Each structure stands twice: as C-alpha cells, then as structure tokens.
Chain A
Amino acid sequence: MQGTRRNRWTGLAYVAPALVFVLVFTVYPLGRMIWMSLHEWSLIAEPHFIGLDNFRRAFGDQQFWTSFRFTLMYTVLITPVLIVGGYLLALLTAPPSRVRAVTRTVIFVPVVIGLGVSSLLWYWLFSTDFGVINRILLDLGVIDQPVLWLGVDAGTSNFAISTSVVWKVIGFGMILFVGAIQAIPTEITESSLVDGAGYRQRVTRVVLPLTMRTVLLVTLLSVIGSLLAFDQFYIMTAGQPQNETATSVFFVYLNSFPYLRLGYGAALSLILAVTILAFTIVQLVLTRRSES
C-alpha cells in the first residue's frame, strides 16, 4: 500500500508541469475570456460589467453577420472540394506502387509549408499585372485583359483564395484517407472481387462505407480549419473590398487588436469557440451512429 501511495504522487509530480501549463495558458485564458465578454473594455478605461450586451450587440452588428456569413460560405464551398478531391487522390495513390507513393509524397509537400507563406506565394500568382495566372489565361486567349483577382470583388477573391487553400491542404485529408483505405483487410477487397464487383462498385459498396469514420473526421477538421480561416484572407485581400472578405477570426482580430474593443472581441471569440464546439459534438454523434 505504501508503494502505491508513493506511486500516485510520483505520477502526479510527472504530470504536474504540463497540467499547470495547460491550466495557466489555456483554462485561465478561457475563463478570462468569458469574464471579458461580459464587460465593456477599451483598455484605456476600466472594464465595467454590462452583462450580455456584447452578445446582443454582436447579433445586431451588420459587420458581424457579413463576416459570419462569408466564413460559412467559404466553408461550404471549400469543404466538399477538399473531401471529394482528397478522397479521389487517396484512391489514386493508396495502392502499393513506387509511382503512387512518390505522388503521395509530392501532394503532401504543401501541407508542411506555412499557410501564411503559401498565401504570399499565391498572392503573387494571382496578382493582376505580375501574376503568372493572368499571363497564362491571356496567352491561352481565355481572357483579353488582366483579371483583378484579389480584393476588388468578393467572388473572385474567394475563388482565388480557395484555390490556394485547396492546393495547400488537400494532401492532409488525402493522407488520412490513404491510411483508412490501406487499413481495410485485404480479404474483404478480395472477396468483393470474387463476387465480380467492378471498380466503381467496390469503391462505393466496400471501400467508402469502411472508411466513413475517417470521412467524418476529415470533414470536421476541414470545417474547423475553414471556420478559423485568417492568414490567407489577411494576406491575400486584407478583408477587401469593404471588409466583405473579412472572416470571423479576422473580425475578432480587428475588434480586439486594432480597434481595442476587448470585451466585444472576447464575446465574438466565444461565439466562434461555441460554434466550433457544436460542430465537434455533431461529428462525435455522427461517428457514434455510423459505428452502431
């Protein structure tokens, strides 16, 4: 018994630094954020308690809805491309072969580079006068004058940014799908071959159902990533035109830092965090259901 008790405290001693770190740098800020969201605070003046006014203000704020709607629209546009595209790439590169393995490695390369840096790269590729994309389209005769891709029209901006993000992250979903596809026992795929199933049937009836869990997981991760989009919009459009391409995180950033509306910024953060939590819970429920 003596030994066990010593063990318990020895164990706690090993865990304590990490635990204290998480309590100080995640749990405390979370509590502080909730507290801030209930206050009016401009950093210069003392914070004063205003209850739920910040939340009421958010829901009546035209800018908040614009950013929220834009973020949702971006999420809804990009997620299917990432899931379907990632899955097709996984089907292509999952079977064992040298060429496929090299391709898989290449597709994954953009995943490891920074989103900020890849956005700078694409900011240049899509630039009106100096970008190669306009040059190619002009040379091919698709357009007869340079397109103003970024920061003038919300639609073309969204298209250009989505293209860059698909390039940057499609390999992430692909790799997880490859893992799931390769984990399917070979007997199952073989027996479906014996039953005379064609490739398309095998994919839709066997492979897809058996990897559904991963499809749900990648969907959740893509949705969360898109809801938290910031770097690409900050760099490629800076929210232009007229903050039409300011995402939710961008809007939180603007209010909290340049505008110093600390209480309001915290309330906005909280709305964002709760939205993400809701998506996570939905995903957990769906995963449970797909298993039972």
Chain B
Amino acid sequence: MTARTGYLVTAACVAISTVMLLPLVYSMLASIKPTAEAAATPPTYLPHGVSLDSYRRLWDYQEGLLTYLGNSFGTALLTIVFTLLLTVPAGYGLSRFPVPGREVIFVVLLLALIIPYQALLTPMFLMFARVGLTNSLAGLAVLHTSIQLPFSLYILRNTFAAVPREIEEAAVMDGAGSLQILLRVFLPPTVPAVVTVTLFAFITSWNEFLGALVMMSSSAKFTLPVILATARTETSLGGTDWGMLQAGVTISVIPCVLVYLLLQRYYMAGLMSGAVK
C-alpha cells in the first residue's frame, strides 16, 4: 500500500467514525443543556452551559426513572436467567446424548428460529392474559426468552459439541454423574459461549420495544424504551420535552455500549458462529 492510499484510508476512517458517533455525542450534549436552551429554535450546536435539569426532570417523570430502569434491568436479568437455565442443559443434552426424537426437536427449533415473534404476539398476549402474565415483568421476560432461545441453544450446542471427548471420559471413569460433568467439565471451557448468550439476552431484552408495548398496560410496568416513547408524544403546555428525551436516550444507550465495548470479543464470536452455519 502506498503512503497516499494509507492517508486516504485513515481520512476515510476518521470521517466515517465521526459521522457514526456524532448523533450519539450530540444527543449527550443536548441532555446537559440548560432547560431553556434544550427547547430553543433553532437548536444550538453546542451547549452554552452545563445543567442536569433534563436528568432531574427524567428522574421525576411519571413513576420516576428508577422504576423504569428497574423494570428494564429486572426484565433483562430474568431473561438472562431463563435463557441460561433452559439452554445450557439443552445444549449439553443435544450435543452429547442420543436424545430420542432429535430430528423432530431440531425441526421445532428451526421453526422457532424462523417464525418472527412479532407475528405471534396476539396469541401470546391472549395466553399470557389468561394466566396473569400480562403487565408482569416475568411475563415479558418469558416473551424475551422465547425470542432469544433458539439462537442461544444453537450457539451452546455447537460449543459443547466441540469439547474433546477425552476430558469427559476421564470424569466418567472417576464416577462423576452427568450433572457433575456438565458443571465441572463442560462449563469451564465454554464460559465464552455462556458469556455470549448472556450478552445477547441482555441486549435483546433491554432494547425490545413492540412486545413490551403490547404486554404492559400500566405505566408503572413500562420498560425504558416504552416510557420514552410515551414521553415523546407528551403534548402538555410546552410540547415534547426534548432535553429530557435526550437524557433518556443517553441513559438507555450507556449500558448497551459499555457492555459491548467490554465484551466485544464475545459479541463478535457469537455473531460469527450464529451467522456462518
């Protein structure tokens, strides 16, 4: 590569990175503008002062920000727990045992992978309503688990299948039961895959919108994206509270970006193993 192409590549990289980051940075800057400036027409490019007013208003918005953060984190946590409890044993079972009806099980899983959850929402809603799972964080977590399960199981099954048989045989010789083998032999080397599944479950649940919109009827149970979407349409005296909305965007974005930057390696590995079949 010549020096000139080198400079061109660097320039292109810097330009593209700037374009990608600008909306997020601009939103964060807007969230710390003083109240009057946040509602100014035309909008200012850079804040003329720093204020936490927008965050204060968000903190007190309707049931209070803590409620919505709690709902979002709670649902994401339950989704992670459900997903792991279901897919770790199933991945182990499918990768190491001659399970009766394997082929049928694979077809069922493939079906679950292809059918979009958006298309199943009405029957799910009716079913959940009958057993009291609507307007409940646990119910929403069940819905999010159903979205996440086939992909997670696929990743875990493949990872477990790649664990060398010799290690397992040694444990069998020592008289370990299958559950012990799963916990002591299989889990330690497959921690990266388990982290990947956890990460994907978190991001799916934290970001999911339509299901949360449909399932939750009282605003006290809304997750962050849903309460922010309602804040958008708020047209009391001053119209939309743009500063507060950007504070909300900032707060929603931070956990995802942080988790992604810290666990990038796992995220990419999961994406590749999920896509390249």
| Residues of A near any B CB (own CB < 8 A) | 4, 7-15, 17-19, 21-23, 25-30, 32-33, 36, 89, 92-93, 97, 99-100, 102-103, 105-110, 112-117, 120-125, 127, 129-132, 134-135, 138, 167, 171, 175-176, 179-180, 214, 217, 224, 228, 230-231, 234-235, 238, 249, 252-253, 256-257, 262, 265-266, 269-270, 272-273, 276-277, 280
Contact = CB atoms under 8 A, between A and B. Distances in A.
B209 A12 contact: no
A253 B210 contact: yes
A19 B122 contact: no
Main secondary structure of the interface of B (DSSP, over half): helix
18 contacts: A11-B96, A12-B99, A14-B94, A15-B94, A22-B146, A25-B146, A26-B112, A99-B10, A103-B13, A112-B260, A113-B256, A116-B207, A120-B232, A120-B249, A124-B30, A175-B268, A256-B125, A266-B122
Interface stretch (B54-62, B63-71, B84-92, B162-170): B84-92
Given A8-B98, A107-B17, A234 B229 contact: yes
B257 A130 contact: no
Most buried by A among B105, B210, B261, B267: B210
A15 B111 contact: no
Contacts of B16: 89, 92, 103, 106-107
Given A10-B93, A117-B225, 12 more contacts: A11-B96, A11-B97, A19-B105, A25-B143, A105-B264, A116-B229, A121-B24, A124-B246, A134-B42, A176-B272, A179-B268, A214-B275
A167 B97 contact: no
B149 interface: yes
B97 A217 contact: no
A103 B85 CA distance: 36
B237 to A, nearest CB: 16
Interface of B: 9-10, 12-13, 16-17, 20-21, 23-24, 26-27, 30, 39-43, 45, 85-87, 89-90, 92-94, 96-101, 105, 108-109, 111-112, 114-116, 118-127, 142-143, 145-146, 149-150, 153, 178, 182, 203, 206-210, 213-214, 224-226, 228-229, 232-233, 240, 242, 245-246, 248-249, 252-253, 256-257, 259-261, 264, 267-268, 271-272, 275-276
Contacts of B275: 176, 179, 214, 217
B43 A132 contact: yes
Given A10-B178, A12-B93, A235-B229, A273 B119 contact: yes
Nearest to A269: B119
Contacts of A36: 122-123
A132 B44 CA distance: 8
Contacts of B225: 114, 116-117
Nearest to A7: B97
A99 B42 contact: no
Nearest to B177: A10
A14 B24 contact: no
Contacts of A135: 42-43, 45
A19 B97 contact: no
Given A106-B17, A125-B23, A130-B242, A8 B12 contact: no
Contact of A11 (B98, B118, B203, B232): B98
Contacts of B146: 21-22, 25-26
